[in-house]
Structure 1
Amino acid sequence: MIFPRIPYTRLAWLLFLFIVGMIWLIARNRKASTFAEGLQVKVTALAGGDKLISEGDVRQALTKSFGNDLENSELGSLDVERMERVLEMDPFIKNADAYIDQNNQLHIVVEQREPLLRVLDNQGNNYYLDATGKKMPPSKNFAARVIVATGNVAPFTPEFREKRKNSLKDLYNITQTLLADDFLKSFIQQIHVTNTSEFILVPLIGDQKIILGSARKLEDKLKRLKIFYQQGMPYEGWTKYETINLKYTGQVVCKR
Protein backbone atom coordinates (compact mmCIF):
# COMPACT_ATOMS: atom_id res chain seq x y z
CA MET A 1 0.00 0.00 0.00
CA ILE A 2 1.32 3.42 -0.93
CA PHE A 3 0.53 6.26 1.51
CA PRO A 4 0.17 9.79 0.15
CA ARG A 5 3.20 11.93 0.85
CA ILE A 6 2.72 15.03 2.97
CA PRO A 7 4.63 18.01 1.62
CA TYR A 8 7.53 19.04 3.84
CA THR A 9 6.29 22.63 4.26
CA ARG A 10 2.86 21.46 5.43
CA LEU A 11 4.46 19.07 7.91
CA ALA A 12 6.65 21.88 9.22
CA TRP A 13 3.62 24.13 9.72
CA LEU A 14 1.73 21.41 11.56
CA LEU A 15 4.71 20.83 13.83
CA PHE A 16 5.06 24.57 14.43
CA LEU A 17 1.37 24.96 15.35
CA PHE A 18 1.59 21.96 17.68
CA ILE A 19 4.60 23.44 19.49
CA VAL A 20 2.94 26.86 19.79
CA GLY A 21 -0.22 25.25 21.16
CA MET A 22 1.73 23.29 23.74
CA ILE A 23 3.64 26.39 24.83
CA TRP A 24 0.36 28.33 25.20
CA LEU A 25 -1.24 25.49 27.17
CA ILE A 26 1.74 25.20 29.52
CA ALA A 27 1.85 28.98 30.00
CA ARG A 28 -1.87 29.11 30.73
CA ASN A 29 -1.68 26.31 33.28
CA ARG A 30 1.36 27.90 34.89
CA LYS A 31 -0.45 31.27 35.01
CA ALA A 32 -3.52 29.66 36.57
CA SER A 33 -1.42 28.10 39.33
CA THR A 34 0.36 31.39 40.05
CA PHE A 35 -0.82 33.37 43.08
CA ALA A 36 -2.25 36.88 42.93
CA GLU A 37 0.35 39.45 43.93
CA GLY A 38 -2.08 42.05 45.27
CA LEU A 39 -5.48 43.72 45.09
CA GLN A 40 -5.94 47.25 43.74
CA VAL A 41 -9.36 48.92 44.15
CA LYS A 42 -10.37 52.18 42.48
CA VAL A 43 -13.70 53.98 42.91
CA THR A 44 -14.25 56.62 40.22
CA ALA A 45 -15.42 59.84 41.90
CA LEU A 46 -18.64 61.58 40.89
CA ALA A 47 -18.57 64.84 38.94
CA GLY A 48 -18.16 66.88 42.13
CA GLY A 49 -15.38 64.64 43.43
CA ASP A 50 -17.69 62.80 45.85
CA LYS A 51 -17.56 59.12 46.74
CA LEU A 52 -20.74 57.56 48.11
CA ILE A 53 -18.91 54.24 48.41
CA SER A 54 -15.26 53.95 49.43
CA GLU A 55 -12.47 51.62 48.37
CA GLY A 56 -12.75 50.07 51.83
CA ASP A 57 -16.44 49.35 51.27
CA VAL A 58 -15.59 47.55 48.02
CA ARG A 59 -12.90 45.47 49.72
CA GLN A 60 -15.36 44.59 52.49
CA ALA A 61 -17.97 43.46 49.94
CA LEU A 62 -15.40 41.26 48.21
CA THR A 63 -14.25 39.78 51.51
CA LYS A 64 -17.84 39.00 52.49
CA SER A 65 -18.50 37.13 49.23
CA PHE A 66 -15.10 35.60 48.44
CA GLY A 67 -13.16 35.41 51.70
CA ASN A 68 -10.12 37.18 53.13
CA ASP A 69 -7.40 35.71 50.93
CA LEU A 70 -8.10 37.15 47.47
CA GLU A 71 -4.60 38.60 47.34
CA ASN A 72 -3.07 35.17 47.97
CA SER A 73 -5.42 33.10 45.81
CA GLU A 74 -4.39 31.15 42.72
CA LEU A 75 -5.21 33.16 39.62
CA GLY A 76 -7.07 30.19 38.17
CA SER A 77 -9.51 30.25 41.10
CA LEU A 78 -10.41 33.95 40.71
CA ASP A 79 -13.76 34.34 38.95
CA VAL A 80 -13.57 37.98 37.85
CA GLU A 81 -16.96 37.90 36.11
CA ARG A 82 -18.66 36.75 39.32
CA MET A 83 -16.85 39.51 41.23
CA GLU A 84 -18.32 42.06 38.82
CA ARG A 85 -21.83 40.62 39.21
CA VAL A 86 -21.60 40.63 43.02
CA LEU A 87 -20.38 44.23 43.16
CA GLU A 88 -23.01 45.45 40.71
CA MET A 89 -25.70 44.25 43.13
CA ASP A 90 -24.63 47.07 45.46
CA PRO A 91 -27.08 50.02 45.16
CA PHE A 92 -24.22 52.54 44.90
CA ILE A 93 -22.42 50.73 42.06
CA LYS A 94 -23.43 51.23 38.44
CA ASN A 95 -20.63 49.22 36.85
CA ALA A 96 -17.69 47.13 38.09
CA ASP A 97 -14.69 45.89 36.09
CA ALA A 98 -12.40 43.19 37.46
CA TYR A 99 -9.24 42.04 35.70
CA ILE A 100 -5.75 40.62 36.30
CA ASP A 101 -2.80 42.50 34.82
CA GLN A 102 0.51 41.17 33.49
CA ASN A 103 2.06 41.50 36.94
CA ASN A 104 -0.59 39.20 38.46
CA GLN A 105 -2.29 42.09 40.26
CA LEU A 106 -6.07 41.85 40.69
CA HIS A 107 -7.73 45.18 39.79
CA ILE A 108 -11.26 46.29 40.68
CA VAL A 109 -12.56 49.50 39.06
CA VAL A 110 -15.95 50.75 40.25
CA GLU A 111 -18.23 53.34 38.61
CA GLN A 112 -20.74 54.86 41.03
CA ARG A 113 -24.40 55.60 40.43
CA GLU A 114 -25.04 59.33 40.05
CA PRO A 115 -27.67 60.62 42.53
CA LEU A 116 -30.29 62.82 40.87
CA LEU A 117 -32.73 63.58 43.69
CA ARG A 118 -33.01 62.98 47.43
CA VAL A 119 -36.43 62.13 48.86
CA LEU A 120 -37.37 62.97 52.47
CA ASP A 121 -41.11 62.34 52.56
CA ASN A 122 -43.88 62.63 55.15
CA GLN A 123 -43.61 58.90 55.94
CA GLY A 124 -40.02 59.24 57.12
CA ASN A 125 -38.46 57.65 54.04
CA ASN A 126 -34.97 58.84 53.14
CA TYR A 127 -33.39 57.76 49.86
CA TYR A 128 -31.89 58.90 46.56
CA LEU A 129 -33.02 58.36 42.99
CA ASP A 130 -30.28 58.05 40.41
CA ALA A 131 -30.41 59.24 36.80
CA THR A 132 -32.11 56.00 35.69
CA GLY A 133 -34.73 56.03 38.46
CA LYS A 134 -32.99 53.41 40.61
CA LYS A 135 -33.40 53.73 44.38
CA MET A 136 -30.28 54.31 46.48
CA PRO A 137 -29.97 54.45 50.28
CA PRO A 138 -28.25 57.36 52.06
CA SER A 139 -24.47 57.02 52.05
CA LYS A 140 -22.54 56.74 55.31
CA ASN A 141 -19.62 58.47 53.60
CA PHE A 142 -21.11 61.57 52.05
CA ALA A 143 -24.39 63.47 51.54
CA ALA A 144 -24.74 64.16 47.82
CA ARG A 145 -25.46 67.79 46.92
CA VAL A 146 -28.69 67.29 44.98
CA ILE A 147 -32.21 68.71 44.93
CA VAL A 148 -34.27 67.53 47.92
CA ALA A 149 -37.92 66.47 47.58
CA THR A 150 -40.18 66.70 50.64
CA GLY A 151 -43.84 66.35 51.53
CA ASN A 152 -46.56 64.05 50.22
CA VAL A 153 -44.43 61.96 47.87
CA ALA A 154 -45.88 58.76 46.39
CA PRO A 155 -44.19 55.57 47.67
CA PHE A 156 -41.33 54.25 45.59
CA THR A 157 -41.96 51.24 43.36
CA PRO A 158 -39.53 49.98 40.70
CA GLU A 159 -42.05 50.81 37.95
CA PHE A 160 -42.97 54.31 39.20
CA ARG A 161 -41.87 55.96 35.93
CA GLU A 162 -44.40 53.88 33.98
CA LYS A 163 -47.40 55.02 36.01
CA ARG A 164 -49.80 57.51 34.47
CA LYS A 165 -50.27 59.73 37.53
CA ASN A 166 -47.62 59.60 40.22
CA SER A 167 -46.03 62.40 42.24
CA LEU A 168 -42.67 60.60 42.40
CA LYS A 169 -42.67 60.32 38.60
CA ASP A 170 -43.46 64.05 38.36
CA LEU A 171 -40.65 64.85 40.82
CA TYR A 172 -38.22 62.80 38.76
CA ASN A 173 -39.24 64.59 35.55
CA ILE A 174 -39.20 68.06 37.15
CA THR A 175 -35.72 67.42 38.54
CA GLN A 176 -34.39 66.26 35.18
CA THR A 177 -35.79 69.40 33.55
CA LEU A 178 -34.24 71.66 36.19
CA LEU A 179 -30.85 69.99 35.90
CA ALA A 180 -30.87 70.42 32.12
CA ASP A 181 -30.88 74.21 32.60
CA ASP A 182 -27.66 75.87 33.78
CA PHE A 183 -29.52 78.65 35.62
CA LEU A 184 -32.23 76.58 37.29
CA LYS A 185 -30.02 73.68 38.40
CA SER A 186 -27.97 76.02 40.58
CA PHE A 187 -31.00 78.03 41.71
CA ILE A 188 -33.56 75.50 42.99
CA GLN A 189 -32.65 73.52 46.10
CA GLN A 190 -35.95 71.89 47.12
CA ILE A 191 -39.25 70.66 45.67
CA HIS A 192 -42.16 70.27 48.09
CA VAL A 193 -45.25 68.18 47.30
CA THR A 194 -48.44 69.46 48.95
CA ASN A 195 -51.31 67.29 50.18
CA THR A 196 -53.15 68.16 46.96
CA SER A 197 -50.19 66.90 44.88
CA GLU A 198 -49.10 70.35 43.75
CA PHE A 199 -45.43 71.27 43.57
CA ILE A 200 -43.66 74.18 45.26
CA LEU A 201 -40.09 75.10 44.33
CA VAL A 202 -37.79 76.54 46.99
CA PRO A 203 -34.88 78.65 45.66
CA LEU A 204 -31.41 78.79 47.11
CA ILE A 205 -31.53 82.60 47.22
CA GLY A 206 -34.42 84.52 48.75
CA ASP A 207 -37.38 83.42 50.86
CA GLN A 208 -39.92 83.01 48.08
CA LYS A 209 -42.10 80.00 47.49
CA ILE A 210 -42.49 79.31 43.79
CA ILE A 211 -45.89 77.70 43.22
CA LEU A 212 -45.56 75.44 40.22
CA GLY A 213 -48.94 73.73 40.60
CA SER A 214 -49.09 70.53 38.57
CA ALA A 215 -46.27 69.24 36.40
CA ARG A 216 -48.23 69.98 33.23
CA LYS A 217 -46.78 72.56 30.81
CA LEU A 218 -43.59 72.42 32.85
CA GLU A 219 -41.28 73.93 30.21
CA ASP A 220 -43.56 76.95 29.76
CA LYS A 221 -43.79 77.57 33.51
CA LEU A 222 -40.04 77.38 34.00
CA LYS A 223 -39.46 79.65 31.01
CA ARG A 224 -41.69 82.30 32.62
CA LEU A 225 -39.85 81.84 35.91
CA LYS A 226 -36.45 82.38 34.29
CA ILE A 227 -37.60 85.52 32.49
CA PHE A 228 -39.03 86.90 35.73
CA TYR A 229 -35.87 86.26 37.74
CA GLN A 230 -33.50 87.46 35.06
CA GLN A 231 -35.44 90.56 34.03
CA GLY A 232 -37.80 91.45 36.87
CA MET A 233 -36.04 90.50 40.08
CA PRO A 234 -32.97 92.73 39.62
CA TYR A 235 -35.31 95.74 39.77
CA GLU A 236 -37.78 94.46 42.37
CA GLY A 237 -35.27 92.89 44.78
CA TRP A 238 -34.92 89.30 45.99
CA THR A 239 -36.92 89.79 49.20
CA LYS A 240 -39.92 91.74 47.92
CA TYR A 241 -42.28 88.81 47.25
CA GLU A 242 -43.37 85.93 49.46
CA THR A 243 -44.89 83.77 46.71
CA ILE A 244 -44.41 83.54 42.95
CA ASN A 245 -47.27 81.69 41.29
CA LEU A 246 -46.82 80.04 37.89
CA LYS A 247 -50.11 78.12 37.80
CA TYR A 248 -51.91 80.56 35.52
CA THR A 249 -51.27 80.39 31.79
CA GLY A 250 -48.96 83.11 30.51
CA GLN A 251 -48.70 84.84 33.91
CA VAL A 252 -46.37 85.22 36.87
CA VAL A 253 -48.52 86.24 39.86
CA CYS A 254 -46.56 87.55 42.85
CA LYS A 255 -47.71 88.25 46.40
CA ARG A 256 -45.89 90.15 49.11
Structure 2
Amino acid sequence: MCGRFVLIESLRAMQNLFGYRIPAGFDERILDMGNRYNIAPTQPIAVVDAGLDGVRHVRLVRWGLIPAWTKDAKTQSLLFNARSETAADKPSFRTAMRHRRCLVPASGFYEWRRMGSTKMPYYIRPRDGSTMAFAGITETWLGSEGSEIDTGAILTTSANRLMTMLHDRMPVILAPGDWDEWLDCGNRRPRDVSHLMRPAADDLLEAIPVSERANSVANDDEALIAPLAEPLTIDAEKAEVKQTPDPDDEPPAQGSLF
Protein backbone atom coordinates (compact mmCIF):
# COMPACT_ATOMS: atom_id res chain seq x y z
CA MET A 1 0.00 0.00 0.00
CA CYS A 2 0.99 3.64 -0.01
CA GLY A 3 -0.38 5.78 2.81
CA ARG A 4 2.28 8.52 2.99
CA PHE A 5 4.85 9.77 0.53
CA VAL A 6 7.48 12.45 -0.04
CA LEU A 7 8.11 14.92 -2.84
CA ILE A 8 11.23 17.07 -2.56
CA GLU A 9 11.17 18.62 -6.01
CA SER A 10 9.16 21.68 -6.97
CA LEU A 11 6.70 21.48 -9.85
CA ARG A 12 8.88 23.92 -11.76
CA ALA A 13 11.99 21.77 -11.25
CA MET A 14 10.17 18.64 -12.44
CA GLN A 15 8.85 20.24 -15.62
CA ASN A 16 11.78 19.04 -17.73
CA LEU A 17 11.62 15.52 -16.29
CA PHE A 18 7.90 15.01 -16.88
CA GLY A 19 7.55 17.28 -19.90
CA TYR A 20 4.29 18.88 -18.83
CA ARG A 21 2.75 22.23 -19.64
CA ILE A 22 1.69 24.66 -16.95
CA PRO A 23 -2.04 25.41 -17.34
CA ALA A 24 -3.04 29.00 -17.94
CA GLY A 25 -3.91 30.71 -14.68
CA PHE A 26 -1.96 28.18 -12.58
CA ASP A 27 -0.87 29.84 -9.34
CA GLU A 28 2.83 30.63 -9.79
CA ARG A 29 3.41 30.22 -6.05
CA ILE A 30 2.42 26.56 -6.26
CA LEU A 31 5.19 25.88 -8.80
CA ASP A 32 7.84 26.67 -6.20
CA MET A 33 6.08 25.53 -3.03
CA GLY A 34 8.38 23.99 -0.45
CA ASN A 35 9.46 20.37 -0.21
CA ARG A 36 6.89 18.00 1.29
CA TYR A 37 8.15 15.27 3.60
CA ASN A 38 4.92 13.70 4.88
CA ILE A 39 2.14 13.86 2.30
CA ALA A 40 -1.03 12.19 3.61
CA PRO A 41 -4.49 11.37 2.26
CA THR A 42 -6.86 14.37 2.03
CA GLN A 43 -3.93 16.65 1.14
CA PRO A 44 -3.36 18.08 -2.37
CA ILE A 45 -0.99 16.10 -4.59
CA ALA A 46 0.46 16.89 -8.00
CA VAL A 47 -0.57 14.64 -10.89
CA VAL A 48 0.51 14.58 -14.52
CA ASP A 49 -1.99 13.56 -17.20
CA ALA A 50 -2.41 13.87 -20.94
CA GLY A 51 -5.30 15.15 -23.01
CA LEU A 52 -6.56 13.72 -26.27
CA ASP A 53 -3.81 15.70 -28.01
CA GLY A 54 -1.19 13.75 -26.04
CA VAL A 55 0.19 16.87 -24.37
CA ARG A 56 1.05 16.38 -20.70
CA HIS A 57 -0.37 18.73 -18.09
CA VAL A 58 0.18 19.10 -14.34
CA ARG A 59 -2.54 19.85 -11.82
CA LEU A 60 -3.39 19.39 -8.17
CA VAL A 61 -5.99 16.95 -6.87
CA ARG A 62 -7.07 15.86 -3.41
CA TRP A 63 -5.54 12.52 -2.46
CA GLY A 64 -8.52 10.25 -1.83
CA LEU A 65 -10.71 9.42 -4.82
CA ILE A 66 -14.42 10.17 -4.68
CA PRO A 67 -16.35 8.19 -7.33
CA ALA A 68 -18.42 10.43 -9.61
CA TRP A 69 -21.64 8.64 -8.64
CA THR A 70 -21.21 9.36 -4.91
CA LYS A 71 -24.17 11.34 -3.55
CA ASP A 72 -22.60 12.55 -0.30
CA ALA A 73 -18.82 12.95 -0.35
CA LYS A 74 -18.72 13.26 3.44
CA THR A 75 -19.89 9.66 3.85
CA GLN A 76 -17.57 8.21 1.20
CA SER A 77 -14.69 6.03 2.40
CA LEU A 78 -11.23 7.43 1.79
CA LEU A 79 -10.07 5.66 -1.39
CA PHE A 80 -6.43 6.73 -1.47
CA ASN A 81 -5.19 3.40 -2.88
CA ALA A 82 -6.63 1.17 -5.61
CA ARG A 83 -5.58 -2.45 -6.15
CA SER A 84 -4.22 -2.64 -9.69
CA GLU A 85 -5.40 -6.23 -10.12
CA THR A 86 -9.08 -5.27 -9.72
CA ALA A 87 -9.30 -1.51 -10.37
CA ALA A 88 -10.53 -1.92 -13.95
CA ASP A 89 -13.54 -3.89 -12.70
CA LYS A 90 -14.43 -2.07 -9.49
CA PRO A 91 -17.27 0.48 -9.87
CA SER A 92 -15.33 3.01 -7.77
CA PHE A 93 -12.32 2.98 -10.12
CA ARG A 94 -13.50 1.53 -13.44
CA THR A 95 -14.22 4.79 -15.30
CA ALA A 96 -11.09 6.51 -14.01
CA MET A 97 -8.96 3.54 -15.10
CA ARG A 98 -10.38 3.79 -18.59
CA HIS A 99 -10.32 7.54 -19.09
CA ARG A 100 -8.25 9.32 -16.44
CA ARG A 101 -4.93 7.61 -15.76
CA CYS A 102 -2.13 9.81 -14.46
CA LEU A 103 1.38 9.91 -13.03
CA VAL A 104 1.98 10.87 -9.39
CA PRO A 105 5.51 12.27 -8.91
CA ALA A 106 7.23 11.10 -5.72
CA SER A 107 10.71 11.11 -4.21
CA GLY A 108 9.89 8.22 -1.88
CA PHE A 109 7.23 6.77 0.39
CA TYR A 110 6.86 5.42 3.91
CA GLU A 111 5.99 1.98 5.16
CA TRP A 112 5.76 0.66 8.70
CA ARG A 113 6.48 -2.54 10.54
CA ARG A 114 5.82 -3.40 14.16
CA MET A 115 8.80 -3.45 16.51
CA GLY A 116 7.35 -4.70 19.79
CA SER A 117 4.65 -2.21 20.74
CA THR A 118 5.96 0.43 18.32
CA LYS A 119 5.37 1.05 14.62
CA MET A 120 8.77 1.67 13.04
CA PRO A 121 8.66 3.83 9.89
CA TYR A 122 10.90 3.18 6.90
CA TYR A 123 11.51 5.64 4.10
CA ILE A 124 11.60 3.82 0.76
CA ARG A 125 13.31 5.59 -2.13
CA PRO A 126 15.17 4.80 -5.37
CA ARG A 127 18.75 3.86 -4.65
CA ASP A 128 19.96 6.36 -7.27
CA GLY A 129 18.00 9.26 -5.75
CA SER A 130 15.79 9.77 -8.82
CA THR A 131 12.19 11.01 -8.80
CA MET A 132 9.61 8.27 -9.31
CA ALA A 133 6.19 8.25 -10.95
CA PHE A 134 3.46 6.22 -9.27
CA ALA A 135 0.60 5.00 -11.44
CA GLY A 136 -2.50 6.96 -10.50
CA ILE A 137 -6.08 7.67 -11.50
CA THR A 138 -8.25 10.75 -11.05
CA GLU A 139 -11.93 11.56 -10.80
CA THR A 140 -13.89 14.82 -10.58
CA TRP A 141 -16.79 14.77 -8.15
CA LEU A 142 -19.66 17.21 -8.69
CA GLY A 143 -21.89 18.07 -5.73
CA SER A 144 -25.61 18.69 -6.10
CA GLU A 145 -25.09 22.30 -5.01
CA GLY A 146 -22.47 22.89 -7.73
CA SER A 147 -19.28 22.15 -5.79
CA GLU A 148 -16.46 20.42 -7.66
CA ILE A 149 -13.58 18.37 -6.24
CA ASP A 150 -10.73 16.87 -8.27
CA THR A 151 -9.57 13.71 -6.52
CA GLY A 152 -7.10 10.90 -7.10
CA ALA A 153 -5.80 7.52 -5.96
CA ILE A 154 -2.51 5.65 -6.26
CA LEU A 155 -2.48 2.13 -7.68
CA THR A 156 -0.81 -0.65 -5.72
CA THR A 157 0.54 -4.06 -6.64
CA SER A 158 2.13 -7.01 -4.88
CA ALA A 159 5.39 -6.32 -3.07
CA ASN A 160 8.79 -6.98 -4.59
CA ARG A 161 11.38 -8.90 -2.56
CA LEU A 162 12.58 -5.82 -0.69
CA MET A 163 9.11 -4.65 0.25
CA THR A 164 8.03 -8.04 1.57
CA MET A 165 10.12 -7.21 4.62
CA LEU A 166 7.60 -4.49 5.43
CA HIS A 167 4.29 -5.15 3.66
CA ASP A 168 2.69 -7.36 1.03
CA ARG A 169 1.76 -4.38 -1.18
CA MET A 170 3.60 -1.46 -2.77
CA PRO A 171 2.73 1.39 -5.13
CA VAL A 172 2.98 0.73 -8.86
CA ILE A 173 6.16 2.54 -9.96
CA LEU A 174 6.25 3.28 -13.69
CA ALA A 175 9.53 3.46 -15.58
CA PRO A 176 9.98 6.66 -17.65
CA GLY A 177 9.80 4.63 -20.84
CA ASP A 178 6.30 3.49 -19.88
CA TRP A 179 4.82 6.90 -19.07
CA ASP A 180 3.42 7.61 -22.54
CA GLU A 181 1.78 4.21 -22.75
CA TRP A 182 0.16 4.58 -19.33
CA LEU A 183 -1.17 8.07 -20.10
CA ASP A 184 -2.58 7.13 -23.51
CA CYS A 185 -6.18 6.63 -22.42
CA GLY A 186 -7.44 7.41 -25.92
CA ASN A 187 -5.85 4.37 -27.53
CA ARG A 188 -5.05 2.00 -24.68
CA ARG A 189 -7.69 0.40 -22.50
CA PRO A 190 -6.87 -0.87 -19.00
CA ARG A 191 -6.22 -4.37 -20.34
CA ASP A 192 -3.65 -2.90 -22.74
CA VAL A 193 -1.60 -1.44 -19.89
CA SER A 194 -2.09 -4.23 -17.36
CA HIS A 195 1.48 -5.42 -17.95
CA LEU A 196 2.76 -2.09 -16.56
CA MET A 197 1.13 -2.67 -13.17
CA ARG A 198 3.83 -4.92 -11.77
CA PRO A 199 6.18 -4.80 -8.77
CA ALA A 200 9.28 -2.66 -9.13
CA ALA A 201 12.59 -4.39 -9.79
CA ASP A 202 14.03 -5.88 -6.60
CA ASP A 203 17.14 -3.69 -6.74
CA LEU A 204 15.41 -0.37 -7.55
CA LEU A 205 14.70 0.73 -3.98
CA GLU A 206 16.20 0.91 -0.52
CA ALA A 207 14.29 1.07 2.78
CA ILE A 208 15.76 3.42 5.36
CA PRO A 209 14.75 3.31 9.04
CA VAL A 210 13.72 6.81 10.08
CA SER A 211 12.30 8.74 13.01
CA GLU A 212 8.97 7.82 14.57
CA ARG A 213 8.08 11.48 14.04
CA ALA A 214 6.97 10.35 10.57
CA ASN A 215 4.03 8.66 12.29
CA SER A 216 2.31 12.03 12.77
CA VAL A 217 1.03 13.99 9.78
CA ALA A 218 1.64 17.15 11.82
CA ASN A 219 5.38 16.71 11.23
CA ASP A 220 6.69 17.76 7.83
CA ASP A 221 10.41 18.51 7.72
CA GLU A 222 13.66 17.14 6.30
CA ALA A 223 14.58 15.39 9.56
CA LEU A 224 11.80 12.85 8.90
CA ILE A 225 13.86 11.12 6.21
CA ALA A 226 17.24 11.25 8.00
CA PRO A 227 18.59 7.66 8.31
CA LEU A 228 18.71 6.12 11.77
CA ALA A 229 20.61 3.04 10.56
CA GLU A 230 21.85 1.37 7.40
CA PRO A 231 19.12 0.85 4.76
CA LEU A 232 17.54 -2.49 4.03
CA THR A 233 18.52 -3.62 0.53
CA ILE A 234 18.68 -6.71 -1.63
CA ASP A 235 22.04 -8.38 -2.10
CA ALA A 236 22.32 -8.13 -5.89
CA GLU A 237 24.63 -11.13 -6.27
CA LYS A 238 22.89 -13.57 -3.95
CA ALA A 239 19.42 -12.07 -4.50
CA GLU A 240 18.77 -12.44 -0.80
CA VAL A 241 17.11 -10.05 1.62
CA LYS A 242 19.66 -8.76 4.11
CA GLN A 243 17.26 -8.62 7.06
CA THR A 244 14.29 -10.71 8.12
CA PRO A 245 10.93 -8.91 8.19
CA ASP A 246 8.64 -8.47 11.13
CA PRO A 247 4.88 -8.99 10.56
CA ASP A 248 3.14 -6.60 8.18
CA ASP A 249 1.33 -3.66 9.69
CA GLU A 250 -0.80 -0.74 8.64
CA PRO A 251 0.41 2.88 8.70
CA PRO A 252 -0.74 5.17 11.50
CA ALA A 253 -4.36 6.30 11.19
CA GLN A 254 -5.13 9.03 8.65
CA GLY A 255 -7.38 12.04 9.02
CA SER A 256 -10.90 12.29 7.68
CA LEU A 257 -11.66 13.51 4.21
CA PHE A 258 -13.15 16.81 5.42
Q: TM-score, normalised by structure 1?
A: 0.21
Write 1 or 2 for the structure with the bigger share of helix. 1
Structure number with bigger Rg: 1
TM-score (norm 2): 0.21
Larger relative strand fraction: 2
